[in-house]
Amino acid sequence: MTEKKTVPMRSEHPEPAQRWQDSAAMGAPEEAPAAAANLARPELYINRELSLLEFNSRVLEQAKDEATPLLERLIFLSISCSNLDEFFEVRVAGLIQRMELGTIQTEPDRMAPQELLSAISARAHSLVAEQYRVLNAILLPLLERQSIRFIRRAHWNPSQQAWLHQYFEEELLPILSPMGLDPAHPFPRILNKSLNFIASLSGKDAFGRDIRLAIVQAPRALPRIIQLPQGVTDSGPHDFVFLSSVIHAYVDELFHGMKVRGCYQFRVTRNSDMYLDEEEIEDLLQAVEGELTSRNYGDEVRLEVAGNCPESIVDFLLGRFGLTRDRLYQVEGPVNLSRMRQVYDLIDRPDLKYPPFIPGCPSPLTGNKDLFEAIRNQDFLLHHPFESFVPVIELIRQAAQDPLVMAIKQTLYRTGPNSLIVDALVKAAQAGKEVTVVIELRARFDEKANISLATRLQMAGVQVVYGIVGYKTHAKMLLILRREGKQLCYYLHLGTGNYHPRTAKLYTDYCLLTADRDLGEDVRRVFVQLTSLGKMSKLHKLLQSPFTLHKALLSKIERETLHAKSGRPARIIIKVNSVVEPQLIQALYRASMAGVEIKMIVRGICCLRPGIAGISETIEVRSIIGRFLEHSRVYVFENGGEPEVYGSSADLMDRNMFRRVEICFPIENKKLSERVRNDLEVYLQNDGQAWLLQSDGVYRRLVSDRQAQSILLDELKKPI
């Protein structure tokens, strides 16, 4: 094993470190007795928006990693770009809106909105510049060495020019609708994140008028990357041309009799968050549908333009969209790099991709015609994607066909298209079973798909509810009620991730399959609460937000604190996507001050500062960025030598604790709980793909030849 060491991240944003240094200079004590420490001091917290940007920078680092297969590096680049799009659509847009409304800033770090927007702008501009440097200086040359070429207009040979000209005339020209700008042709509405071109013209139009500018909008149906056919153009099998290059090359044919002096691509990012007036909502489905109509034309938050666009045209566009210079991003390449991911599926080069694998599966669940018997005999814990998601689908399929199954109750947040789970639920309803599905219509950017899903299920006779207005239903749970003799038996699937077969191959998640009656009764009561809107009755084992989860986590952290003070074993391991909620952070600080060892695996946002003398010295925070997206939420409490292990749908965020319906379920089987703890130790002891958060807010990459995801994959996958 390579000796562990740390290396600084290549592009670091100094703001969090500077704020910490400034606060220390102002007299903030580096060490403080537990009783005297003010744990609400803003310098003890990292800003969540800046933390999210740093996560995206870590994703981009994977695109630079020479140990990552080349086409996978292209995927990481595109992910960093799509992540940044969503950051502007939701986080920046919300911040701007709060500032315009004069909303008081309540984040623990106490950064003023304008100060934060300036910091975001500086970091985001640096991140975008690095994205295009990675594309132009690193990935494109490496791809070309592998005979994968993105051919620029200047390098088209005559046969390529001929084919692309024909392609333009047959496939693009009939669809494109150029719009000259004059009083009768005002500036058109620009769709969120759509590809557009602004053309500078000279000459007279057909009516003898001077038209100086025109807009060309590229419909979303058009492919952004065009693969040149082998044999037609003497090209290799993997030669590509950007749609923008083709439009640039032949844009003059859209303006017959006029001269195109310049053509420049641009893209606008808009506020895409949904705002529903909860007091006015009578029908949630109709309200969401209404919001979807206007989402693509929300307020502008960012303008991206070609790097060679003249200043006069840049100023014109900024004026049209009401944006200031700090929201302008001039780029050296296509304005939407997230579209680069479509190339991955067009290239059959296994040597440039991660090696395929077959997920493992416990033998009792493999090919079993009676999964109910298997689950009745023992609990099962599946760790996706290392282990297969198929048993979950098969369980629902068997439930749909089994005459002993009386009812199926399930939550659905994201399912993906052509879901086999949805097919099974439809068949179950058609077979006369009582099927209840709680669909979260407001799953961000899946709203349209979930509306279609709800409609399909309702037409099949499924009882569909949309959760509770004001509280997203984010819990992942399935309850099957089966009549066995004189007894009604409970079969459960409880998970940390969605019922989405595709993401189950890409995201790490745990799921528990059990016939535990107390857990089953708890889940039944949660479903009753979601459908009847009655008061929540007491649960046996399950923790649920917004009712008991937050208090229970605080209590368990405090229990570890008391164990440490009493000299008993005290340790906490937390694996989540985000750490934001200030009361839980303060509880962890107090636990650390009492000597509790705290290990945290936090993929994305982390507002907690580890390693502060006298405050968080015993807290370690690491982020794992690798082949699979780390998505599982796990909480482990040493409890004086009697460990408790929980899986959950909830992160340590305000929204998960107070504004969502979440569950946190115990993994009580000793063998399974030990397995979870062993998995977590794999993440904590193998540093490849790990980043360690410093007290100044900077992440440092750990260097090792041992990667946790690879180790788990080797242990759990099925031999090929």
Active site residues: 474
Q: Are 337 and 131 in contact (CB under 8 A)?
A: yes
Bridge partners of 579, per DSSP, are 606, 652
- Report DSSP state, residue 503: G
In the sheet that holds 225-227, the strands lie side by side as 149-150, 239-242, 225-227
As a residue count, the chain comes to: 720
Find, among 515, 543, 696, 479, the residue nearest to 45 by Cα.
Answer: 696
Residue 303 structure tokens: 């303008």
Q: Are 540 and 652 in contact (CB under 8 A)?
A: no
| SS3 label, residue 19 | helix
Residue 334 structure tokens: 């296509």
Q: Are 39 and 586 in contact (CB under 8 A)?
A: yes
Strand pairing of 597-602 and 619-624?
parallel
Residue 178: how many other CB atoms lie within 10 Å:
15
Distance spanning both ends of the chain, measured CA to CA: 26
Q: Are 598 and 666 in contact (CB under 8 A)?
A: no
Distance (Å, whole) CA 621 – CA 692: 6
Find, among 621, 701, 691, 615, the residue nearest to 23 by Cα.
Answer: 615
Helix residue ranges, H only, 137-239: 140-145, 158-167
Distance (Å, whole) CA 248 – CA 244: 6
Phi/psi of residue 602, nearest 5 degrees: -125, 110
Contacts of 114 (CB under 8 A, 6+ apart): 99
Cα 574 versus chain centre, distance:
19
Distance (Å, whole) CA 240 – CA 167: 13
Contacts of 155 (CB under 8 A, 6+ apart): none
Residue 115: how many other CB atoms lie within 10 Å:
14
DSSP 120-143: HHHHHHHHHHHHHHIIIIIIHHHH
Contacts of 419 (CB under 8 A, 6+ apart): 453, 499, 500, 501
Positive or negative torsion for Cα 6, 8, 10, 15: positive
Residue 234: how many other CB atoms lie within 10 Å:
12
Find, among 217, 228, 129, the residue nearest to 181 by Cα.
Answer: 217
| SS3 label, residue 310 | coil
Contacts of 373 (CB under 8 A, 6+ apart): none
Side chain identity at residue 670, one-letter code:
K
698: alpha, beta or left, given left = phi > 0 and alpha = psi -120 to 50?
Answer: beta
Q: Are 627 and 354 in contact (CB under 8 A)?
A: yes
Distance (Å, whole) CA 582 – CA 606: 11
Distance (Å, whole) CA 112 – CA 389: 45
What CA–CA distances, in Å, run from 448 to 243, 269, 457, 538?
27, 20, 15, 35
Residue 390 structure tokens: 């198929």
